[in-house]
Structure 1
Amino acid sequence: MTKRLQSKYKLDRRMGENIWGRAKSPVNNREYGPGQHGQRRKGKVSDYGIQLRAKQKLKGYYANITERQFRNIYAEASRMRGATGESLVGLLERRLDALVYRAKFVPTIFAARQFVSHGHVLVNGKRVNIPSYRVKPGDVVEVREKAKNMALVLEAVSSGEREIPDYLEIDSKGMKVTFVRVPALADIPYPVQMEPNLVIEFYSR
């Protein structure tokens, strides 16, 4: 598992947005960036800077996956039919850790990565511990019996913080979710505006 070296909420403050829509995000109280120079007046951002920011925001949202992983996902999306930006977010939403997060089995995307890595998840009845595992339409993902009473899981399931999108079919009692279809950008409940088109421009320079 890739180690997340920096504080996850620094991304919120660096972007000046509540990336994950959490009530505890420090950007709710301090909209300026982190560090001693965070309150400096910001100058005009170049086109490159805007594209980089869009890339860092989207990459960071998915538990800050590595640059190599993200670039590989972009490369695969660029080879697919249709709009590359739509394909990019569709591939990101097919990650097992993203699905576990969307199904509200855990409270954060970072917890989802750890939850999967620790072997608490079954895909079609088989244990999978790879966060980047790619689910397919029709796959059934469920929490293992031993993990269903974990405090982390119970907190997330009872939370009203997020809605479950309609491209997932949820069985809350059994803690199971079926991945119905690959979502389009408009279907994904991002708390802030994501701009995959700018990410495509960044990589295709």
Structure 2
Amino acid sequence: MSKRTSAKYKLDRRMGENIWGRPKSPVNRREYGPGQHGQRRKSKLSDFGLQLRAKQKLKGYYGDVTEKQFRRAYGEAAKMKGDTSQNLIGILEQRLDMIVYRAKFAPTIFAARQIVNHGHILVNGEKCNIPSRRIKVGEVIGLSKKAQEMALVIEAQGLAERDIPDYVVPDGTDKVTFNRIPTLDEVPYPVKMEPNLVVEFYSR
């Protein structure tokens, strides 16, 4: 199993936002933070606090990736031509587990990581169990025969709460092609993400 299960909803409450847009999120019922001090009046965040919060929210959305992986992604984005915040989003959207989630092969990013880890995902017809693998434009991501019959996958494909974005092109129900690297405004985030603040955090 992924390292974050029910605790993922604690992240929603800490941020005060339904980060993944899930109907079961506790934020839909109570917007204050978790714990006995969750309802106390919130103090105004400093610039550092805003930057840290933006980083935590973005990291959390992508399945709570490790700090090492996230910092490496930022480092690569900073070396690329163009806007660093846009580059960072492009790199994160190229992760195999995220494309599996975008393709609606899994109901959550955590479930997407799990089915990749268990060897149920094919990249260009070959099994791949590395969730952080960077997918290139034009590569085909598919479900194994066993995965096509899994209740988890069938449930995900029937979800009405999110659509497959334009940069992930379906071919039937069992495979998709990664069509292009998206820009920030193309990514279907349920809440506002601020990668520019993440760049400010790391460039201090």
- Relative to the length of structure 2, the TM-score reads 0.97
- Give the structure 1 partner of residue 101 of structure 2: 101
Unaligned runs of 5+ in 1: none
- Give the structure 1 partner of residue 186 of structure 2: 187
* Shift in CA distance, 78/177, structure 1 to aligned 2, threshold 3 Å: same
Describe how 1:186-205 pairs up with structure 2 within 5 A: 186-205=185-204
Among all aligned residue pairs of Structure 1 and Structure 2, give the percentage whose two residues are the same amino acid: 67
- 1:96-145 C-alpha deviation (Å, 9 max, x unpaired): 00000000001000000101000000000110000000100000000001
- SS of the residue aligned with 1:122? strand
- SS of the residue aligned with 1:53? helix
Hey, what's the Cα distance between the residues in 2 that align with 1:49 and 1:162?
A: 30
Describe how 1:115-134 pairs up with structure 2 within 5 A: 115-134=115-134
Amino acid at match of 1:110: F
- 1:75-114 C-alpha deviation (Å, 9 max, x unpaired): 0100000000000000000000000000000100000010
- Give the structure 1 partner of residue 31 of structure 2: 31
- SS of the residue aligned with 1:88? helix
CA contact (8 A) 1:140 1:179 kept: yes
- Give the structure 2 partner of residue 85 of structure 1: 85
- Provide the aligned C-alpha RMSD in A: 1.3
Tell me how far 1:172 sits from its aligned partner.
Answer: 3.5
Hey, what's the Cα distance between the residues in 1 that align with 2:141 and 2:39?
A: 44
Matched, 1:164 2:164: yes
* Shift in CA distance, 172/26, structure 1 to aligned 2, threshold 3 Å: farther
- Give the structure 2 partner of residue 142 of structure 1: 142
Matched, 1:8 2:8: yes
CA contact (8 A) 2:2 2:110 kept: no
Tell me how far 1:158 sits from its aligned partner.
Answer: 1.3
CA contact (8 A) 1:2 1:66 kept: no
- Relative to the length of structure 1, the TM-score reads 0.97
Tell me how far 1:159 sits from its aligned partner.
Answer: 1.4
